[in-house]
Amino acid sequence: METISENRCFGGVQGVYKHASDVCQCDMTFAVFLPAEAEHGPVPVLWFLSGLTCTHENAMTKAGAQAWAAQHGIALVYPDTSPRGEGVADDDAYDLGQGAGFYVNATQDPWKPHFQMWDYITDELPALLGANFALDMGSQSICGHSMGGHGALTMAMSLPGRFQSVSAFAPICHPTASDWGRKQFTAYLGADETKWAPHDATLLMREKGFQGPVLIDTGTDDQFGDLLGTQHLAEALAARRQYAHLRFQKGYDHSYFFIASFMEDHVAFHAEALYQ
């Protein structure tokens, strides 16, 4: 593991690191914020999965989570959204290829050799983090934005007991019924739609639900609202009587200004679950 940078931040350390990923077969970059408490022992972990076109850096610099994480003594992990580099497949469209991994394990060429983002986020990166940082990997929660909200919700419901809580900002809620999903799942997973269902938050909520609390914020002026399918997830939440807060925030769009406006709420929400 290579240290790219480490900076003092709200009494803790904001670091950026790079390592050779076995599952993605390329170098992967990620960021970790460690609060001051990590100097004395392992601290709880909050993952933040970013959206289309983002890297580890977008949320790290724009979401404003470090101040609130420092207040609660929680570490933040910001993975990249896809494999990258020479020899890694890509596409001219912003919503496919590098920057658009959709947190799935690709089974189709040319994506299969590198685009193994599910295994990277749920297996390889947690093992690396646990071995190299003062993190309590038995106390984790997960959050995400847009494509990352899709990833956070699907991972939380598919890995019972892994995460204490899950939240999302403007998540892609029903990708099997959206152009932000059908296109990518066809490319990465093939035309058999039965292979898509494990990566659809609405379908997972109908089938499994989540054992902990759920918080979702979406702006009423979100310019991508038609692609998100929030109404479908709302119906699934209600049908299952899932313990959840689904909030439509008046006047907010899809941007990091929206995320930063409600990040304090999300970190406090996760802190309550992590410190029960």
Report the SS3 class of residue 129. helix
Q: Return phi, psi of residue 185, to 5°.
A: -65, -35
Task: In whole angstroms, give the CA distance from residue 113 to residue 189.
Answer: 13
Tell me: the pLDDT tens digits for 191-216? 999 999 999 999 999 999 999 999 99
Could you read off the pLDDT of 224-268 as tens digits, one per residue?
999 999 999 999 999 999 999 999 999 999 999 999 999 999 999
Query: Domain of 52?
Result: 2-275
Strand partners, 94: none
> Taking a C-beta distance cutoff of 8 angstroms, is the pair 63, 27 a contact?
no
The CA angle 152-153-159, to the nearest 5 degrees, is 85
Which helix (H) or strand (E) segment is 22 a member of?
A: none
Q: What is the dihedral of CA 237, 207, 148, 247, to 10 degrees?
A: 0
pLDDT at 276 over 90: no
pTM for this predicted structure: 0.97
Strand partners, 245: 215
Residue 38, helix vs strand vs coil: helix
Conformational region of residue 194, where left means phi above 0, alpha means psi within -120 to 50, and beta covers everything else: alpha
pLDDT in the model for residue 106: 98
| Alpha helical stretches, state H, 73-146 | 117-119, 125-132
First vs last C-alpha separation in the chain: 33
User: What is residue 120's DSSP assignment?
Assistant: I
Per residue in 153-162, pLDDT (tens digit) is 999 999 999 9
The pLDDT tens digits of the residues spanning 11-62 come to 999 999 999 999 999 999 999 999 999 999 999 999 999 999 999 999 999 9
pLDDT at position 2, please? 97
Nearest alpha carbon to residue 110 among 188, 185, 181: 188
CATH for 224: 3.40.50.1820
How many C-beta atoms surround the C-beta of residue 1 within 10 A?
12
pLDDT beyond 90 at 174: yes
Total domains in the fold of the chain? 1
C-alpha span between 82 and 68 (Å, rounded): 27
Active site residues: 146, 222, 254
